[in-house]
Amino acid sequence: MAALSIWLKTKMKKILTFLLALALIFGNVSPLLYAQEATVSSDLTSPTPEPSPEPSPAFEASPSPIVSPLPVLSPEVSSEPTILPIDSHPTPEFESSASIKLPIRVRSLTKRVYKADEKITIVLENTLNSNVQIALFNSDGVEVPTDIEMVSDYDPSVYRILPSNQLKPGRYRVKITDPEGTVTTQDFSWGVLAINPDKSIYLPNEQSLLAMAVLDETGNMVCDAQVVLKITKIPLGSETVASEEELSTQNGGITVNPECFIKDFVLKPDYEAKYQVAEAGTYQLNLTAQTVNGSYSIDDSFEVRDSVVFDIKRSSATRIFPPITYPMTMEVTANEDFSGTVREVVPGNFAVSPLSGAKNYDALESVLGASIGFDDFGINLPALTAPFDLSYPINLGFGQQLRDPLVKQKYADFGLLGHDGVDFDLPEATPVLATDDGEVVRVRANGDYGATVVIQHTWGRSYYGHLSLITKKEGDKISRGHPLGLSGHTGLSTGPHLHFGIKPNENDMNNGYYGKINPLPYLALKPGNQDVLGVQTAPPLVATSLSESQNNQVLIWNLDLKKGDKVTLGYNYQVPNLSPQFYLLGPLQFTKTDGSLTWSEGRRWQLAIDVDGSGANTVDPTTGTVSTTGNTYTFTFDPSEAMDTGGITITVPAGWSAPQGTAGTAGYTVAAGTGNATVARVVSTADSTTGWAEDDGDACGSLGTDTSIKQEGSASISCVNTTTGPDGDDSFSFAFTSEDWSSYSEIAAWFRSDDGRASGEVQFAYDDDAPCWGTGGNAGVVEAFADFALTADTWTYVKRTLAATRTAIVAVCIGSGGDGFDNDTIWIDDVLIGPGAATFTGSGPWTITTRFLDLAATETVTVTYGSSGGASGVTNSATEAVHTFTTASRVSDISTGSYQTLTGGSPTVTLSAPAGPTTDQQMRHGNWFNASGVEQSFTF
């Protein structure tokens, strides 16, 4: 009977506790708000989870500090959804309900377009004891190797796909298969948009320069997208939108630059905009691009502050074309004295070198680790001090999963994944300290976390809940480490503790916690502070790139600056020849000699890596026999985009026939295109001044090579004219030995002007005398073309059909069209005629090179190696093996024959030994045959 009595008392206690919880929930709370940190067991000693929202903006500011003690008050209506408290110690009766087996349900992805620094979160319901398979596929339907981490193995299960070097900009499909074989798929795009303000933090009334890039599903740049940038201004200390402005390609607020079409070194962004910032606050960015493949949209932000410790302005490319070297410059103005180090994090697979004209870095270190102050959503925060002195255990960690089925369902109804802060086990009346400098923007006696203080920092907000005494009022400025009140257990709390949370300005409202993030990675906690997993917490040291998350390098500058000093830091970087790809650079961080981090940029620089225009190359046949003769191998090059004046190379391994250019010889090789594709012959690479000269004395103040502005190869020819006003015809030309052009039908070259030229102001000509114009030239030229215009600072491809007599040609010329070049600089690069033929270099291995006058993305070029077959065909290597015919495309340096490796790989031919004669054949009629089938004398 005694045992029965104890059992009945226990059951009655649980029933009463449950009814009390229901009374709290439905008696004191509106239908849309649920109690915070309420318990379902009166004998629990640790606090339980509370909801994620900020205190309601509808609350009035307290006119004076709140005094202790404070009564336990019910929550009030919040501007963000809150949740029913979930007990981390469920009763057996509640546990039994989990035995009901329900079908697994996949929640919809929170978004359809992800920034390149975001992880893709997958939430599955009803997954207890279930084995779920998750796979990722690219737009071609090929499975992509990826890292998937489990955030929660309880219901709901939460997984995240981690960006890696296998994840490239484009469209993807995630496939979830449950144990019953049911398949659910969801599509998303990743890394197809990039945006870079020239500063992460502006001062009031400055002009923001915004650079943007748009890639398609395959990683190719898109230059005809309808781009819209919405900028929403939220003043500092306010949650109310002050203004919204829309810039777009349609209303002229966003400019599409002609450089977008250039597959070469370009610093000018594909899309750019200017925006006048106003007062201090957060400026939220929503970038949307409508393309032929659909609409993409990402969110980003920058800050405006009334003052900054360091004013930093960056300049570099946003969309880059590998493997060209690009500069990064950072103009730094110090607004206080500083002595220490400045660090910049760069992916480990970048080639970094000093930049002329900028202060060189003092050291370069290779490192492993996670990002400095960046959480899973690419958010940058400074190192924060602990909100208390000494050390206290953590009772409940950020994102901890709850088990009570009744309240868990309410929790799930609001789409929240777990606890939205960290509960520290502070005894009552322990001083609570500000974790960073800021302004008190909210003081509530009965807030969402009981007596609550919210501080607005430059980077976001911090939250301090369940206080027993508040010593600050709204509008007060507060410094890092200064007290704001005493800990307590106000609100619906089971005991004294501090609820601490943070919400960055640049937050993801769809991250499952309404933008709040785990504060532990940013808190400098003393030994003894451990989270629920027992992991010691400390700020991480170095930042990561997306593609090499465990391999980075840090550039270090040693600086001594006085207030008002200006310095330009910089470096050159070359990305690997891997495209499409997406990388992040920075942030620039300032650490004093005592090791304290004093300043950091608020965001990282984004780099969208354009596809290299290579495409794929295949060979037929793919097998053969060693040492056989008369073979023909056909290579088909299929480009991924238009490649005017581009090219392809095929490296033939040693041991095969050398490529030849004469019919009837072994290895005779020809090249031809489909459709309008035209194979070219190079007249001049324009990589040196050899053969180039002015046609008159004042055409060019200087005529020379320009390695910084080029379209193909290693340089271009520049004519710098320093005169102003009409000065007659100006011209310069390239002279060569007399050639018969009667078999050619087209001529082409790249042109550029720094001032721009209207149609007719620049002429492109060829002549049977040199120079084409000026002293010693004929009265006219064989043929000239002037029907093209040049946009300022933009390469223009000019291709024209030859119509006149084309024998004994000795010069190609560029003329001014009658009025001179007028204080302008004219560039020319890569002069070609066509149709042409393949050329050959090397002495084994040999390289077959084919240039293009015109090659569209829908056309192909075929290189036939051993085209006439028979005795003049290719002699195969005598080595049994898999022979790789290394292929590359898109000229990077014509003068050295340097091409970029094909991302699609290189074709192979497998050679095997011929089948030998059978025993029958070897022994018949008293004769025998060796392995090559040659008859031998019978010797016994």
Mean pLDDT of the 563-574 span: 94
Estimate to the nearest angstrom the gap between the alpha carbon of 4 and the chain centroid. 66
Angle at 568 between CA 564 and CA 572, to 5 degrees: 165
- With 60 as the cut, is the pLDDT of residue 777 above it? no
Q: 55 falls in which pLDDT band (50, 70, 90)?
A: very low
Decide: 328 and 571 in contact? Cβ < 8 Å: yes
Estimate to the nearest angstrom the gap between the alpha carbon of 171 and the chain centroid. 14
Mean pLDDT of the 24-35 span: 32
What values do phi and psi take at 5, rounded to 5?
-60, -45
Q: Where are the extended beta strands (E) located within 305-449?
A: 310-315, 319-320, 325-334, 338-347, 351-353, 363-367, 384-385, 394-396, 422-424, 431-433, 438-447
**CA distances (Å), 232 to each of 199, 277, 285, in order?**
17, 11, 7
Nearest to 853 by CA among 926, 764, 745: 745
Where is pLDDT greater, at 184 or 623? Answer: 623
**CA distances (Å), 131 to each of 124, 155, 185, in order?**
11, 13, 17
Q: Which of 178-192, 218-232, 715-729, 825-839 has the highest mean pLDDT?
A: 825-839
In this prediction, residue 743 carries a pLDDT of 92
- With 90 as the cut, is the pLDDT of residue 340 above it? yes
**Pairing assessment for the beta strands 825-834 and 477-478 based on DSSP bridges:** unpaired
In this prediction, residue 213 carries a pLDDT of 92
In this prediction, residue 490 carries a pLDDT of 85
Decide: 219 and 320 in contact? Cβ < 8 Å: no
What values do phi and psi take at 406, rounded to 5?
-65, -55
Decide: 484 and 432 in contact? Cβ < 8 Å: yes
Nearest to 228 by CA among 168, 307, 145, 287: 287
As a whole number of angstroms, the distance between CA 867 and CA 874 comes to 9
Token pair 């990388």 in the structure block, residue? 583
- Residue 641 DSSP code: S
Mean pLDDT of the 912-934 span: 59
Query: What are the structure tokens assigned to 190, written together?
Result: 């990743």
- With 60 as the cut, is the pLDDT of residue 129 above it? no
Q: Where are the extended beta strands (E) located within 198-354?
A: 201-202, 207-214, 226-235, 243-248, 254-256, 271-276, 281-291, 294-304, 310-315, 319-320, 325-334, 338-347, 351-353
What values do phi and psi take at 919, rounded to 5?
-60, -40
Decide: 552 and 344 in contact? Cβ < 8 Å: no
In this prediction, residue 746 carries a pLDDT of 94
Nearest to 710 by CA among 325, 215, 224, 212: 325
Decide: 66 and 451 in contact? Cβ < 8 Å: yes
Burial class (CB in 10 A: 0-12, 13-18, 19+), 568: middle
Where is pLDDT greater, at 52 or 689? Answer: 689
Residue 316: left (phi > 0), alpha (psi -120 to 50), or beta? beta
- Counting Cα atoms < 13 Å in the Cβ hemisphere of 911 gives 19
In this prediction, residue 218 carries a pLDDT of 67
Which residues have C-beta within 8 Å of that of residue 355, sequence separation ≥ 6? 327, 328, 329, 570, 571, 572
Q: 432 falls in which pLDDT band (50, 70, 90)?
A: very high
Mean pLDDT of the 700-729 span: 81
**What is the helix (H) or strand (E) element at residue 6, kind and residue range?**
helix 2-28
Decide: 453 and 467 in contact? Cβ < 8 Å: yes
- With 50 as the cut, is the pLDDT of residue 4 above it? no
- With 80 as the cut, is the pLDDT of residue 165 above it? no
Query: To the nearest whole percent, how much of the chain has pLDDT over 90?
Result: 31
As a whole number of angstroms, the distance between CA 31 and CA 729 comes to 84
In this prediction, residue 93 carries a pLDDT of 31
Mean pLDDT of the 846-857 span: 89
Estimate to the nearest angstrom the gap between the alpha carbon of 392 and the chain centroid. 40
Dihedral sign of CA atoms 352, 353, 358, 359 in order: positive
Decide: 747 and 832 in contact? Cβ < 8 Å: yes
Where is pLDDT greater, at 443 or 925? Answer: 443
As a whole number of angstroms, the distance between CA 821 and CA 757 comes to 9
In this prediction, residue 644 carries a pLDDT of 80
Query: What are the structure tokens assigned to 879, written together?
Result: 């080595």
- With 80 as the cut, is the pLDDT of residue 581 above it? no
Decide: 437 and 456 in contact? Cβ < 8 Å: no
Dihedral sign of CA atoms 139, 142, 144, 150 in order: positive
Query: What are the structure tokens assigned to 538, written together?
Result: 């400390």
Query: What are the structure tokens assigned to 540, written together?
Result: 């991480």
- With 70 as the cut, is the pLDDT of residue 263 above it? no
Q: 625 falls in which pLDDT band (50, 70, 90)?
A: very high
In this prediction, residue 524 carries a pLDDT of 66
- With 70 as the cut, is the pLDDT of residue 86 above it? no
In this prediction, residue 362 carries a pLDDT of 94
In this prediction, residue 33 carries a pLDDT of 26
In this prediction, residue 819 carries a pLDDT of 67
In this prediction, residue 428 carries a pLDDT of 85
Decide: 883 and 875 in contact? Cβ < 8 Å: no
Query: What are the structure tokens assigned to 608, written together?
Result: 């969208």
Where is pLDDT greater, at 377 or 178? Answer: 178
Q: Hey, how many other C-beta atoms are within 10 angstroms of the C-beta on 573?
A: 22
- With 50 as the cut, is the pLDDT of residue 633 above it? yes
Q: 937 falls in which pLDDT band (50, 70, 90)?
A: low
- With 60 as the cut, is the pLDDT of residue 619 above it? yes
Decide: 170 and 139 in contact? Cβ < 8 Å: yes
- With 90 as the cut, is the pLDDT of residue 540 above it? no
Mean pLDDT of the 701-705 span: 89
Q: 264 falls in which pLDDT band (50, 70, 90)?
A: low
In this prediction, residue 182 carries a pLDDT of 83
Mean pLDDT of the 685-694 span: 91
Mean pLDDT of the 896-908 span: 67
Average pLDDT, the chain: 76
Q: 60 falls in which pLDDT band (50, 70, 90)?
A: very low
Range of weakest confidence among 10-14, 224-228, 263-267, 665-669: 10-14
- With 50 as the cut, is the pLDDT of residue 88 above it? no
